[in-house]
Structure 1
Amino acid sequence: MSVLITVRGSFSAFRPPERATAHVSLVLEASSSKVAYAGATKSAAVVTESLTELHNPDGGPVTWWSSDQVRTFAHRPWNNQGKQLPLVHRASVTFAAKFSDFDRLGTWIARTTAVEGATVKSIEWALTAAHREQLTREVRAGAVRDARDKAQQYADALSLGPARVVAIADAGMLEQGLNPTGNVAPQQFSRMAAAQEDSLVGFAPEDVEISSIIDAKFDVDAPQ
């Protein structure tokens, strides 16, 4: 006769970020679509030029960047008296740029937020792909050890013998029809305020968290 023990194991690791992806939005409004579009196009050209100068896939400081096309739409805003105002035309474009040098990132953000209509929406902190893969393996192993130790503690509390693993899976997948409830993914998002022209942005890179959660079943021989 044996006793079945089901446990959940988890493990997390934190590392300083190695990459930062800045997300920038350009939005300009005008009384005509043509004026709004021209303004957004002009501002987008300034940001594009700055990223092109910094772009170097191997050496950085910008290892990758992208942008979408200028988009236009119109809306009629309301004032605080509840009156609908004349039509306002808006043109917008977004940029994303991945930096390997955080000092250069701060300088670039300070200059970019001085561009008409530009706002830094967020910064996504991350590890390099190789480091993230290595750390993912480590935290998965840590989650397995946590589950094993927990199962053995339960067995010891019952004065039983060594716990033997029967099954192991991502959290939520041990029972048929269930989907995983845990994953291994870095937490990468942070918000920051717009900077003033020609000043470094005062931001602190956030540590990246890699975590793993698993479920496991163990059996232990029960005393006869």
Structure 2
Amino acid sequence: GSEKDEVVARAKRALDPLVSQLGELQQRGALATWSSDQVRVISQHPWAGDRRSDEVVHTASFGVRAEFVDFEKLAGFVDHWAGRDHVEVHGLAWDVLASHRRAYVAEVRKAAVDDAVATAQAYADAVRRGRVTPVEIADPGMLGDGSGGGGAAPMMAKAAFADLSSDGGPGLRLEPEDILIEVSVDARFTTD
């Protein structure tokens, strides 16, 4: 718009009910956290064909980020706000909670070590060297030999999400993408 104060006020009027709903959702446990940026105002002279306008046009925006833990509430929130005047939903990023991530990483680390032992045993069996015994296991590059690490043992963590495929009636249905949690280990073994 042409009046900067009115443009900022209009953006704030659009933001206030959204922020209010986020606060309510957080109180009900649907959100872990949320935050709102300060207002950003851009003032520019638009172009009309090959000529720059003398009129200044102002644009105001606020950024809001929310970390939902209830995916049904997330779907309802996005369905409610997407497409409303003066509101844009720029995207969703899927992740697991930090407390769950620690458990998944521990599980994947164990799988990586199990895989390293099985691989070493397969090599030892191929040359008839007997049973392998791990003597050193470390994060990639920590054994000091400059090898930089072996293969990763990836594990999909889709189980961290609620099943959104249930019949929830009309509205937006969100399907979480798979989250790959990946670790690598370096290991040294001896044989019998």
What is the alpha-carbon root mean square deviation over aligned residues? 3.2
TM-score, normalised to structure 2's length? 0.76
Q: Does the C-alpha gap of structure 1 residues 153 and 46 become closer, same or farther in structure 2, counting only changes over 3 Å?
A: same
Match of 2:93 among 124, 129, 144: 124
Distance across 2 between alignment mates of 1:45 and 1:185: 41
| Residue segments in structure 1 that go unaligned for 5+ positions in a row | 1-29, 189-198
Give yes or no for contact 2:94–2:177 (8 Å, CA) kept in 1.
Answer: yes
1:59-138 equivalent positions in 2, closer than 5 A: 59-78=28-47, 81-85=49-53, 86-138=55-107
Match of 2:108 in 1: 139
The answer as to whether partners of 1:43 and 1:115 remain within 8 angstroms in 2 is: no
> What number of residue pairs does the alignment pair up?
179
Q: Residue 143 of structure 2 aligns with which residue?
A: 174
Is the partner of 1:36 in helix, strand or coil? helix
Q: What residue ranges of structure 2 are gaps of 5+ in the alignment?
A: 159-169
| Relative contact order higher in (CA < 8 Å, ≥ 6 apart) | 1
Structure with the larger strand share? 1
Counterpart among 9, 12, 23 of residue 52 in structure 1: 23
Question: Match of 1:213, SS?
Answer: coil
Q: Which residue of 2 aligns with 1:157?
A: 126
2:167 equivalent to 1:203: no
Is the CA contact (8 Å cut-off) linking 1:72 and 1:90 kept in structure 2? yes
Cα distance in structure 2, aligned partners of 1:168 and 1:148? 10
Q: Distance in 2 between matches of 1:73 and 1:172?
A: 47
- Identify if the C-alpha distance between structure 1 residues 161 and 41 changes in structure 2 by more than 3 Å, giving closer, same or farther: same
CA offsets 1:49-89 (integer angstroms, 9 cap, x no match): 11122222xx522332111111212234446x554445432
* Alignment deviations for residues 68-113 of structure 1 (CA, whole Å, 9 cap, x no partner): 111212234446x554445432211111122222222111112222
Q: With the length of structure 1 as denominator, give the TM-score of the two structures.
A: 0.66
1:170–1:183 CA contact under 8 A, matched in 2: no
- Structure (1 or 2) with the greater helix fraction: 2
Alpha-carbon spacing, 1:186–1:112, altered in 2? closer, same or farther (3 Å): farther
Residues 116 and 187, structure 2, Cα contact 8 Å, conserved in 1: yes
